[in-house]
Amino acid sequence: MEARVQVDGGSATRKFLHHHHSRPSTPQPQQPQISEIGTVPKLLAGGIAGAFGKTCTAPLARLTILFQVQGMHSDVAVMSKPSIWHEALRIVNEEGFRAFWKGNLVTIAHRIPYSAVSFYAYGQYKSMLKSIPGLDGHGGNFVGGGLAGITAASATYPLDLIRTRLAAQRSAIYYKGIGHAVNTICRDEGCLGLYKGLGATLLGVGPSLAIRFAVYEILMPYWQSQRPNDSTVLVSLASGSLSGIASSTAIFPLDLVRRRMQLEGAAGRARVHNTGFLGMFGNIVRTEGFRGLYRGIVPEYCKVVPTVGIMFMTYETLKKLLSQGPFS
């Protein structure tokens, strides 16, 4: 009797285990896997994404620069009615509609290598930092983004300075193009004039890309885990836009100081401030108050939301397309 119970119990156990293992598992939603792409397509995707995003939002970028440099000189971007709408109307009436894209050629010339290097360098730094304890997660994304921003900004800074000076011009044209601007700056200010404001730029761009990439890497996977059926295009657009808002809010004062330092001595004017980054920062606070550090933040938000969103969306789309093409 006892033996029979043991046999029956073992048989029941075997039946239960067989039934348990043969039960069909609930299908889990699968995220589409994108194969890794090489160096050239990564650079290509990053460059095109940056150029496309900047071109789409060039009018807002120019408005931001004009607001940031307001009050530097009596004849540079002194707006009687400091609002986006009135300044946009002034540009159309005085310079024509095409003036919204003033300096956009040099913007593209700057943005293609800048975005290409930043996206590629971010991937490389992130892979390297994974081997360091404590930097294999979000911390690595933050540090990798900062290092990528410093690398890209250092490599392409002269184009950024020229872009700023071309965009800040109004009716009086002093710089007639990229080549003329390079020659004029070197003649008037020396070759080091092409790197004016680099320190402030690195202070701003490092944290900016660190925050941007870190926030994007948090939002994108979280959104996809909560809503796996949403389009990757939509998710990358929204996540990129939110990451752009976060980074711009944090580093906008540094960007404003950088712009003003880039315009010191522009168009043959005498330099007003010779005290460097801290001196410029302190002068803005003294003369314009702390609100002056956020002059132009509204057009900046209007610009950064579509710019960063479009950039990340384009990058993710191109990566997917290139992974299925001859580069894969």
Domain assignment of residue 7, yes or no = no
Domain assignment of residue 165, yes or no = yes
Domain assignment of residue 243, yes or no = yes
CATH classification at residue 100: 1.50.40.10
**Confidence bin at 41 (pLDDT 50/70/90):** confident
- pLDDT tens per residue across span 262-314: 777 665 555 555 567 788 888 888 888 888 888 878 878 888 888 899 999 99
**Confidence bin at 16 (pLDDT 50/70/90):** very low
Domain assignment of residue 3, yes or no = no
Using the Cα atoms of residue 296, residue 300, residue 301 and residue 303 in order, give the sign of their dihedral.
positive
Domain assignment of residue 6, yes or no = no
Domain assignment of residue 87, yes or no = yes
Residue 84 belongs to domain spanning: 38-323
Which residue has better confidence, 128 or 177? 128
- pLDDT tens per residue across span 150-197: 999 999 999 888 888 887 777 678 888 888 999 999 999 899 989 988
Could you give the number of structural domains in the chain? 1
Domain assignment of residue 31, yes or no = no
Domain assignment of residue 328, yes or no = no
Is the pTM of the predicted complex or chain greater than 0.85?
Answer: no
- pLDDT tens per residue across span 66-115: 777 765 554 444 444 457 788 888 888 888 888 888 778 888 888 899 99
What is the 3 state secondary structure string of the chain? Answer: CHHHHHHHHHHHHHHHHHHHHHCCCCCCCCCCCCCCCCHHHHHHHHHHHHHHHHHHCHHHHHHHHHHHCCCCECCECCCCCCCHHHHHHHHHHHHCHHHHHCCHHHHHHHHHHHHHHHHHHHHHHHHHHCCCCCCCCHHHHHHHHHHHHHHHHHHHHHHHHHHHHHHHCCCCCCCCCHHHHHHHHHHHHCHHHHHCCHHHHHHHHHHHHHHHHHHHHHHHHHHHHHCCCCCHHHHHHHHHHHHHHHHHHHHHHHHHHHHHHHCCCHHHCCCCCCCHHHHHHHHHHHHHCHHHHHCCHHHHHHHHHHHHHHHHHHHHHHHHHHHCCCCC
